Amino acid sequence: MSSDAKVALCEAVRAFVGREHGLFVDGAICLAHSPRRSNVFDPATGNVLTTVPDADPADVDKAVASARAAFEARVWRGLRPAARERILLRFADVLEAHAEELAQLETLNQGKSINVARAIDVAATLEYVRYMAGWATKIVGETLDVSIPFPPGARYTAFTRQEPVGVVAGIVPWNFPMMIAVWKLVPALAAGCSVVIKPSPETPLTALRLAELAIDAGIGPGVFNVVTGGAECGAALAAHPGVNKISFTGSTPTGKRVGTAAVQNMTRFSLELGGKNPAVMLADIDVDQAVQGVLAGGLLNQGQVCAAVSRIYVHRSKYRKVLEGLADSANAMTMGPGLDPSAQINPLVSAHHRARVEEHLARARAEGLQFLAGGTQVDAPGYYVRPAVIADVPPDASIMRDEVFGPVLALAPFDDPAEALRLANDSPYGLAASLWTNDLRAAMSLVPQIEAGTVWVNCHVPLDPGMPFGGYKQSGIGREFGRHAIEGFTETKSVCIAY
């Protein structure tokens, strides 16, 4: 375990955690209709931090009604685009002023490293907010030179308008709770929508704080609401006839339930789902660089990253070296709480998720697979799992097929690029992949054949707000980021004028 030299929590975090939490509806914290409450845990200790309401369908109705009222009253969408842009930029400034508080709150509740929380959950989120703010003034339609032939002599012109889709429900997982909430919230706001965010019951705190800071930035009451709760609350949102668009991030089975519910009301939906992401290392790799790259791309946030590397295929000529490099590094990693900046592996988000990851590892052991690192239990409070490196994993082993969403790397050798491609594509998922080579011809021939929404070359996991992100196959429907995010929160209206 690490030295235990922890970052001292700032007063704002202590005060926020110590409060009685409610839902955030119509611009204020409010009591829930539901009497039930859920515990919120500190993954580093297993202690209860606080409780939040476990919202029921009546609470969801209230939050959707608040978003609907704000939308109909045009309090947000009626603003000039430049005003929306300015307020969203101010929102980024307010978040930046609270950067350390938000990073600590995320670490405390999610378990992740404070370094990751500062650099990604907060700093990258600020970049994203500022990028998306700019879209508010850049939403454009088309002008069309139409050819309608009747009545004879009539003349027409047509154009399209991109209009806000209406009330957006953002359903969010627990791995990057604030960042993924913002991935939904800010493009929806840039497009003029009103929003209800439902964070995961494991990690509701930063979404609640975000809603308060949005009010401070000038985002009016009802434009951004938060309901806390679990599956019942999420299902009520997904099936709600007052919701116009659901933007969901989470597991593939839940995503299918959300899509099925949404279609009953013709609610638009986009699904960012699970992944089982391959890294393919060709014969010419620089072993050290590739090892460091997949460690970063596989163990970031303890592997609780939808796009994390989990399957590693290495040309046989470099296989042993990569395997040993990964195993040595994984075995040398220090574990400790997220608030200890020196800890390299932090707890998983929950006892339930740790049990799920341990089940995957137990199955791999039962299948006789060889562990070069990890696979043994950690004797400490908190939800720790040692990073695992598993060698010579056959394509049909469950650890090569199932999404684990934990610190687990499974490796296998290959002999030629065609075999590597077959192995990489041999998955129901298709979120992301990486290719490790400096052979430009090989890279350019493989990239189009890899079935994944993102293919990185000589890196794995960097995202940019402008780079479309989403999955092939069972990894989802739709794309977030860039103009795709904005398109997902607008309807296209054709206008045809006879003159």
DSSP string, 456-496: EES------TTS-B--EETTEES-BSHHHHHHTTEEEEEEE
Regarding 272 and contact with ligand NAD (CB under 6 A), the answer is yes
CA–centroid distance for 342 within its chain? 25
Contacting residue, 53, 201, 278, 482, with ligand NAD by CB under 6 A: 201
Among 122, 172, 295, 410, binds ligand NAD (CB under 6 A): 172
Does position 249 bind ligand NAD by CB under 6 A?
Answer: yes
Site string for ligand NAD, 179-198 (x = CB under 6 A): -------------------x
Give the count of residues interacting with ligand NAD (CB under 6 A).
29
CB closer to ligand NAD, 246 vs 364 = 246
Tell me whether strands 472-473 and 429-430 are parallel, antiparallel or unpaired.
Answer: antiparallel
DSSP string, 35-89: --EEEEE-TTT--EEEEEE---HHHHHHHHHHHHHHHHTTTTTTS-HHHHHHHHH
Classify 310 as helix, strand or coil. Answer: strand
Name the nearest CA neighbour of 275 among 454, 100, 106, 98. 454
| From 251, 292, 370, 425, residue interacting with ligand NAD (rule: CB under 6 A) | 251
Instruction: Report, in Å, the least distance between residue 398 CB and ligand NAD.
Output: 16
Give the active site residue among 101, 272, 403, 480: 272
Nearest to 486, CA basis, from 472, 462, 465: 465
Helix (H) or strand (E) segment spanning residue 410:
strand 408-414
Residue closer to ligand NAD, measured from CB, 38 or 137 = 38
Please check whether residue 490 is in contact with residue 245, taking contact to mean a CB–CB distance below 8 angstroms: no
CB atoms within 10 A of CB 355: 11
272 catalytic per annotation: yes
Least Å from the CB of residue 377 to ligand NAD: 22
Of 308, 135, 98, which is closest to residue 209 (Cα–Cα)?
98
* Interacting residue with ligand NAD among 254, 277, 302, 490 (CB under 6 A): 254
The reply on whether position 403 binds ligand NAD by CB under 6 A is: yes
| The binder of ligand NAD chosen from 16, 71, 174, 319 (CB under 6 A) | 174
Pick the piece of the chain touching ligand NAD (CB under 6 A) from 167-175, 315-323, 386-394, 413-421.
Answer: 167-175
Identify whether the C-beta of residue 119 lies closer than 8 Å to the C-beta of residue 341: no
CB of 268 to ligand NAD, least distance (A): 15
- Print the binding letters for residues 126-165 with ligand NAD: x by CB under 6 A, - otherwise: ----------------------------------------
Pick one of 166, 242, 275, 387: the residue that binds ligand NAD (CB under 6 A): 275
* Backbone CA torsion sign across 404, 409, 414, 420: positive
Of 243, 242, 235, nearest to 261 (Cα)? 235
Identify the residue among 193, 226, 285, 306 touching ligand NAD (CB under 6 A). 306
Buried b (16+ CB within 10 A) or exposed e, 208-238: bbbbbbbbebebbbbbbbbbbbeeebbbbbb
Q: Does 68 bind ligand NAD (CB under 6 A)?
A: no
Q: Which is nearer to ligand NAD, 272 or 487 (CB)?
A: 272
- Helix, strand, or coil here: 217? helix
**CB 353, min distance to ligand NAD, A:** 7
d(CA 120, CA 123): 5
The packing angle between helices 177-190 and 205-217, to 10°, is 40
Of all helices (H) and strands (E), which one includes residue 353?
helix 351-366
Kindly state the smallest distance separating residue 172's Cβ from ligand NAD, in Å. Answer: 5
Q: Is 200 in the site for ligand NAD (CB under 6 A)?
A: yes
Any idea what the Cα angle at residue 147 is, between residues 143 and 153, rounded to 5°? 115
Per-residue mark of binding to ligand NAD, 228-247 (x: CB under 6 A): --xx--xx--x---------
Q: Which of residues 420-449 bind ligand NAD (CB under 6 A)?
A: 431
Whether residue 323 contacts residue 411, with contact meaning beta carbons closer than 8 Å, is answered with yes
Shortest distance in whole angstroms from residue 448 CB to ligand NAD: 22
Which one of 30-38, 50-58, 251-259, 436-444 is the stretch in contact with ligand NAD (CB under 6 A)? 251-259
Q: Is 452 in the site for ligand NAD (CB under 6 A)?
A: no
Q: Is 125 in the site for ligand NAD (CB under 6 A)?
A: no
Contact status: 121 vs ligand NAD (CB under 6 A): no
- Interaction of residue 341 with ligand NAD, rule CB under 6 A: no
**42-59 exposure pattern, b = at least 16 Cβ within 10 A, e = fewer:** bbbeeeebbebbbbbbeb
Using CA atoms, how far apart are residues 287 and 468, in angstroms rounded to an integer?
29
Which residue do the tokens 């509701």 mark? 204
Does position 308 interact with ligand NAD (CB under 6 A)? The reply is no
Provide, rounded to whole angstroms, the least separation between the CB of residue 475 and ligand NAD. Answer: 6
Cα distance between residue 120 and residue 113, in whole Å? 10
State the minimum distance, in angstroms, from the CB of residue 205 to ligand NAD.
Answer: 14
Which 354-393 residues touch ligand NAD, going by CB under 6 A? none
**273 binds ligand NAD, rule: CB under 6 A:** yes
**What are the residues binding ligand NAD (CB under 6 A)?**
171-175, 198, 200-201, 230-231, 234-235, 238, 249-251, 254, 257-258, 272-275, 306, 403, 405, 431, 471, 476
Active site residues: 272
